Structure 1
Amino acid sequence: MSVTVSATLAVNEALAEKRRRGLPVLPLGFGEAGLPVHPAMREALVSGGDRNAYGPVAGAAELRDAAAGYWQRRGLPTDPDLVVAGPGSKPLLYSLLLAIGGDTAAAAPSWVSYAAQAQLAGYRCMQIPTAPAQGGVPQPDLLAAAVGQARAQGRDVRSVIVTAPDNPTGTLASAATVRRLAETARDLDLVVISDEIYRDLVHEQGAEVHSPAEYAPERTVVSTGLSKNLALGGWRLGVTRLPDSALGRSLRAALLGVASEIWSSPAGPIQQAAAYAFTEPAELTERVRGSARLHGIVARAAADRFAAAGAMVAAPQAAFYSYPDLEAWRGHLAREHGITTGAGLTALLLEEYGMGVLPGSEFGDSTAALRMRVATSLLYGDTDEQRRAALAADDPLALPWIAEHLDRLSEVLDRVGPAQALDGPGEPAARARD
């Protein structure tokens, strides 16, 4: 089995190497939240420093109770005994695939690690297209057809992965689409794994995120963590909510078996800090809301720069991503640069201009597609002082370091693209691909 370094980590390392060599970079490839640790979280971590015992495999009771309350406040009643914690949502997702077994299905495009983790577990991942501007959720009718065909060929498909909100597109599937997905999963007897790590980073305050657990509670596993909403990627703490059903209890036993052989239990001090975070005190909810606002402003500004260069791009709704499509450049890229694939385009942007983005092919998209994932969360500054200023600013786009990055983005697009997009000037992101 050949598995390479995750594309998101690889592009981050490539940009770091360019920085070490003194070269200018435009860091749009890595999905790190890019904000300082909140002082209250630092204090909670320090106060848990004497927690040196292994602890329960499922996680400390205090943490599981707090996580259950977090989901309860989002309309998902949760039994703390059906919560399992781990060292990040990423190993939890992989352990779930091991525990469930069989092939899985995910959206096309979808986060780079779903298919790779299925491969590591010895299974395959079918990637099913999403509806326009409804990323993260496979189109239910296409899912049913693909699973039916795979099973007719003797494949054992047991699960489907949903991302709400979505990475890589930054969009949010409608309630109707999520409901139909849940109903289709029930008809096909599929376990639904709902990765909701970006749930708290919806840009529009009051916008609803709908989980498949609302519509198929008996078969939906929900996953989240602290790496995105509180920008604690280096702390490595995730939690899963298992369904209150015979399936959920069976999955819990299998998941704990896998966890006991891989990580034993999450780190004690991190668990104590996470328990505090999941109670959602006012100072942390204020930080999360401010983060979502900042992510939205900057992601939308970057999407608008792509639209002005001729891209079609859905307006970002959550997190810090957009997914522009530069199909309008195809003829120009082939003539002037000999480029016919998304990977060729992103390689040119990286090598010639220090612009790190990931091609859609890394997310299960067509190799020929001139689509890419753009992550704007590392534009907020190189120091914690700058990042705190970005959080506090009424207009973060007026901060010189953010403005310079966005202007550099426009400059690179102007240099690589045609003088005028073949299909005319791009629309503002708010109207493109609605």
Structure 2
Amino acid sequence: MERTLPEGHGPVRYGPPAPEPGLPVLPELAAVLAASAGRAHTEPVGGSPALLDAAAGYMRRRGMPAERSQLAAAPGAAPLLCALIAATGGDVLLPRPCTAWWAPQVRLLGRQAFHVPTPPECGGVPDPYALLETVRRVRAEGGDPRLLVLSVADDPTATVPPPEVLHETVEAALREGLHIVSDETWRDTLHHPEETVLIGPAEMAPRHVTVLADLAGAFLPPDWPAAVARFPATGEGAALRARALDVLTVLGSSVAAPVAAAAAYALGEPAEVTDRLTAAVRLHARVAEAVHRSVLAAGALGRAPVAGRHLYVDFAPLGDALAERGVTDAMELEDHLTERFGMPVPGGHRFGDGLGALRARISVAPLLGTDTEQRLAALTAPDPLELPHVERALTALAGALDDLRADARRTEPPR
């Protein structure tokens, strides 16, 4: 990740990618892709019947009835969200912080993106009262808010909103006539699914919610781009899907045939795919929890990660120590931590947080090993934290955090 330029505080081309798994491609997926590489035909815009039927089955197994006519696929979540924003029109409301690539999609289309603070309990969804106030203010100033984008398993905060909080936010959005896009990319990466209740807004208000899922979250490698969307089973939902497909057609945005074959295979959830996902989630959870303990021990703050392969850290309690090192904002924090940790650590300004907030996202993938052998060892180990290479990586990270804590103690005034 290249250094952010001061002007604009984060050009799009330098933005952080989604957290990667840090694991080799599942051999069975690679075989499906390779077997389809000789196909000469072009996938239809919006997805082939085979891919859409597989996506429908995936949605149904998660409590969201779906038919082929409600679904669309695209080469990644970004073009799919872009098509949805273009098809909906108007301004867009986003939680603060939020996924790094959401706001650039809005700006690309010449629309306004308005960030709404998240509640204390979680990230991913706006506080319902702040949402109502933001909509009122935007309309009073001549804006036209029509769309709310949220996430029930969040990047960057790695949290899941309690159902009651999500319900209040959904009710507030519907009261103001907003359509909801629910990004559920990370819903299959819950660290402890038996302890975490995840209910999506489409289960609360199926007529007013479009569900978006990037398959790179749980099923495919990041450089095999494929994403699916489920539209409401209503006349308005059908019209929205048709307009989104028009946009995708103009963009020439169709899933590559070999990737579509791999996506359909993965969405069918055969045993080898689900076994790999279970093992990967267990690994990411174990390492993320270790990083979280080191973060808290150093005096920084951050909610315990419950999904994904990352965590979001607030370094404000170490602000004086960081200032002694010339770190006074999120851009400088990004540079400092990236150098100290030896891996990309994007600052909170990339996720819609204020530049003055000393927050950053830490991904666990770089801690799993530097080659295929080490990463596979981490995946299959009874306790990956006991592997020498993982232990060394975590110790180095904890040491860098402890240095900040030591500096903070030196800067504390005498009692």
The TM-score with structure 2 as length reference comes to 0.92
User: Do 1:325 and 1:372's aligned partners in 2 also have CA atoms closer than 8 Å?
Assistant: yes
**C-alpha separation in 2, matches of 1:288 and 1:353:** 27
With over 3 angstroms needed to count, the CA separation of the structure-2 counterparts of 1:293 and 1:423, relative to structure 1, is farther
Q: Which letter does structure 2 place at the counterpart of 1:104?
A: V
Q: Which residue in 2 is equivalent to 1:102?
A: 90
**C-alpha separation in 1, matches of 2:340 and 2:407:** 19
**What is the Cα-based RMSD across aligned positions, in Å?**
2.0
**C-alpha separation in 2, matches of 1:147 and 1:170:** 26
Report the CA distance between 1:163 and its aligned residue. Answer: 1.2
- Is the deviation greater in 48-57 or in 315-324? 48-57
Q: Which residue in 2 is equivalent to 1:112?
A: 100
Q: Which residue in 2 is equivalent to 1:67?
A: 55
Report the CA distance between 1:228 and its aligned residue. Answer: 2.0
Long gaps (5+) in structure 1 = 10-29, 425-434
User: Do 2:97 and 2:124's aligned partners in 1 also have CA atoms closer than 8 Å?
Assistant: yes
Higher relative contact order (CA 8 A, sep 6+): 1
**C-alpha separation in 2, matches of 1:390 and 1:189:** 48
Report the CA distance between 1:288 and its aligned residue. Answer: 0.8
User: Do 1:172 and 1:209's aligned partners in 2 also have CA atoms closer than 8 Å?
Assistant: yes
With over 3 angstroms needed to count, the CA separation of the structure-2 counterparts of 1:353 and 1:272, relative to structure 1, is closer
Q: Which residue in 2 is equivalent to 1:177?
A: 165
Q: Which residue in 2 is equivalent to 1:92?
A: 80
Residue 358 of structure 1 aligns to a residue in which SS? coil
Q: Which residue in 1 is equivalent to 2:15?
A: 7
Residue 127 of structure 1 aligns to a residue in which SS? strand
The structure 1 residue matched to 2:240, chosen from 251, 260, 267, is 251
**C-alpha separation in 2, matches of 1:208 and 1:37:** 29
User: Do 1:69 and 1:78's aligned partners in 2 also have CA atoms closer than 8 Å?
Assistant: yes
The structure 1 residue matched to 2:301, chosen from 312, 324, 332, is 312
With over 3 angstroms needed to count, the CA separation of the structure-2 counterparts of 1:353 and 1:278, relative to structure 1, is closer
Q: Which residue in 1 is equivalent to 2:179?
A: 191
- Once the two structures are aligned, what percentage of the paired residues are identical? 37
Matched, 1:299 2:307: no
**C-alpha separation in 1, matches of 2:172 and 2:90:** 18
Q: Which residue in 2 is equivalent to 1:237?
A: 226
**C-alpha separation in 2, matches of 1:78 and 1:166:** 24
Residue 397 of structure 1 aligns to a residue in which SS? helix
**C-alpha separation in 2, matches of 1:251 and 1:337:** 51
Matched, 1:126 2:114: yes
Report the CA distance between 1:67 and its aligned residue. Answer: 0.4
- Is the deviation greater in 298-307 or in 89-98? 89-98
The structure 1 residue matched to 2:314, chosen from 308, 320, 325, is 325
1:102-137 CA distance string (max 9 Å, x none):
110111111111111110111111111111241101
1:28-74 CA distance string (max 9 Å, x none):
xx611211111111121122233321232221101101101101011
With over 3 angstroms needed to count, the CA separation of the structure-2 counterparts of 1:273 and 1:416, relative to structure 1, is same
Q: Which residue in 2 is equivalent to 1:228?
A: 217
Residue 411 of structure 1 aligns to a residue in which SS? helix
Matched, 1:136 2:129: no
The structure 2 residue matched to 1:52, chosen from 40, 43, 57, is 40
Residue 406 of structure 2 aligns to a residue in which SS? coil
Q: Which residue in 2 is equivalent to 1:359?
A: 347
**C-alpha separation in 2, matches of 1:213 and 1:44:** 32
Q: Which residue in 1 is equivalent to 2:3?
A: none
Report the CA distance between 1:203 and its aligned residue. Answer: 0.3
The structure 1 residue matched to 2:31, chosen from 28, 39, 43, is 43
1:241-271 CA distance string (max 9 Å, x none):
1111122111111111011111252111211
**C-alpha separation in 2, matches of 1:150 and 1:248:** 25
Q: Provide the aligned length of Structure 1 versus Structure 2.
A: 403
With over 3 angstroms needed to count, the CA separation of the structure-2 counterparts of 1:389 and 1:91, relative to structure 1, is same
Residue 112 of structure 1 aligns to a residue in which SS? coil
Q: Which residue in 1 is equivalent to 2:153?
A: 165
The TM-score with structure 1 as length reference comes to 0.88
User: Do 2:321 and 2:404's aligned partners in 1 also have CA atoms closer than 8 Å?
Assistant: no
Matched, 1:371 2:359: yes
The structure 1 residue matched to 2:266, chosen from 267, 270, 277, is 277
Long gaps (5+) in structure 2 = 1-6
Matched, 1:150 2:138: yes
Q: Which residue in 2 is equivalent to 1:27?
A: none
**C-alpha separation in 1, matches of 2:339 and 2:216:** 29
Matched, 1:211 2:200: yes
Residue 208 of structure 1 aligns to a residue in which SS? coil
User: Do 1:333 and 1:417's aligned partners in 2 also have CA atoms closer than 8 Å?
Assistant: no
User: Do 2:320 and 2:408's aligned partners in 1 also have CA atoms closer than 8 Å?
Assistant: no
| Residues 75-90 of structure 1 aligned to structure 2 (within 5 Å) | 75-90=63-78
Q: Which residue in 2 is equivalent to 1:22?
A: none
**C-alpha separation in 1, matches of 2:257 and 2:264:** 11
